[in-house]
Amino acid sequence: MEFIQEEEPDIKKPIVIAAMQDMGNVGSIVVNFINDSLQTKTFRTAKPPFPTYVIDKGGYIELPDESWEYKFTDDLIVFGGGKGQPKSNSELNTLCQDVIDVSKKYSAKFIYTLGGFHTNRIFQNSPKTFITSTSEELMNRMKGLNVETTPHESMITGFNGLILGFAKRNGIHGIGMYAELNVPEIPQYRSAISIIKTIERLTYIKLGDTSQLESMAQEIERKFKN
Nearest to 27 by CA among 80, 102, 106: 80
pTM score above 0.85: yes
Q: Which fold does the domain 2-225 belong to in CATH?
A: Rossmann fold (3.40.50)
Q: Is 99 helix (H, G, I), strand (E, B) or coil?
A: helix
Whole-number pLDDT of residue 93: 96
Q: Is a pLDDT exceeding 70 seen at residue 97? A: yes
Interatomic CA distance for residues 43 and 7, integer angstroms:
5
Per-domain residue ranges for the chain? Answer: 2-225
CB 21 within 8 A of CB 85: yes
CB 98 within 8 A of CB 37: no
User: What average pLDDT does the segment 169-191 reach?
Assistant: 95
Q: Which helix (H) or strand (E) holds 46?
A: strand 41-47
Interatomic CA distance for residues 192 and 188, integer angstroms:
7
Residue partners of 215: CB distance under 8 A and separation at least 6: none
User: What are 198-217's pLDDT values in tens digits?
Assistant: 999 999 999 999 999 999 99
Whole-number pLDDT of residue 120: 86
Interatomic CA distance for residues 192 and 16, integer angstroms:
17
Whole-number pLDDT of residue 226: 61
